[in-house]
Structure 1
Amino acid sequence: MTTVDDVITSFSDDPNLLNVAVSRAKSQFYLVASGNEQPKDCNISDLIAYIEYNNGTVSTSKIHSIFDYLYEQYTDARIAYLKKHKKISEYDSENLTFALLEDILKENINMRHLNIICHLPLYMLIQDYSLLNEEESKYAANINTHIDFLIYNRVSKQPVLAIETDGYTFHKSGTSQSERDIKKDRILELYGIPLVRLSTIGSNEKKIMEDKLNEILHLQTQ
């Protein structure tokens, strides 16, 4: 069971929902909650205390996320971190992604020939629409359709990797945005442009990005 909430709400703390979740467990029960400090007088806190009392394991994840900075208790740390980098968006999630990508390219000597474009309109990347159907062509040609980040080769000017920063609520399955995401994914796949989506509820983004870039660069040198 995961609460998803940064701060426990009346919905995630609903005793009836918690009872259903716990009672449906067959052999094991896992509760994933935010690392934020939570009120002591709530059902989630009582459940965690009950798990500890009955010799259950309560542990803090050893894997961190760049998006942990979005949590309220990390406000000062987020401001300090982002001050070191260029602000490219009104959304801190995208600013954090850009800062991470900048750090990766600077730290890896084999990536010094790469650069980043932010918010690149898709129509500037796709010149020949012959691979697309009518709906996909219309979507790709829309001036509002863009790639959050495109890493490209400074020398050849060729695209290397597209990166999308996905806020959980806005991009979750079933939303109109998720349907647009599927179109974008298919278009990029058709044109052979690798894509990584970084969810704001994910983790280990630096390793994910470094591994993907190293994989792509290795293939290009073969």
Structure 2
Amino acid sequence: MVRNIASYLLIALTISIIVYVSFQSNETIDLSGKYSTKDLSLNYTVSNDADKDNNLYSKSKTSDYKFSPYLGKSFVGFKEALAFKESGGDYFSINSFGYLGKYQFGEETLKMIGINNPTKFLKSPGLQEKAFIANSARNKWILRRDIKNFVGRRINGFIVTESGILAAAHLAGPGNVKKYLRSYGLDNFADGFGTTVQNYMKRFSGYDTSFVKANKRAKAI
């Protein structure tokens, strides 16, 4: 019994000492120096592609902004880079010459790939993506011999690639690309804004366009 009382007294005395010391101490622990977020950059962003003309953001009627990450030299990277150059990636864009959508198609080109309703086309992002694939497949078939004969050759200081040829065909039509290649760069068509076949062949060179299969009768519908 005496031992129990002594134990209780010792515990009570220890607690009293701890409480007393804690109230007497004026020292505070300052964590602000080691753990402050002051002057730290807390905004994480994706760096821009080397091409400053390709904005990472584009406005559309359906949303304020659409984010497009850098997609490298993949086929998706190819078509998205081309779309940003054409329209800023806006599915609902119509330029001053009447070209439509994300990839800026003319009505005659749309007819060749089975699209006869431009209004419906402009309202359908899915159809626009199908149209891009179909038109690329058709152009690849038309230019199949030129792709075989000129890819890897140097014209006006740059190496010709399949993706550059397909991009230029999207801009100017396959006939004008043939003229450029077969004249070794002397016949260099320019569109209404002054953009040339050579400009697109250089700008969009080196992408993987093996996904596109040459098809004479390719249709979006």
TM-score by length of 2: 0.23
TM-score by length of 1: 0.23
Larger RCO: 1 or 2 (CA < 8 Å, sep 6+): 2
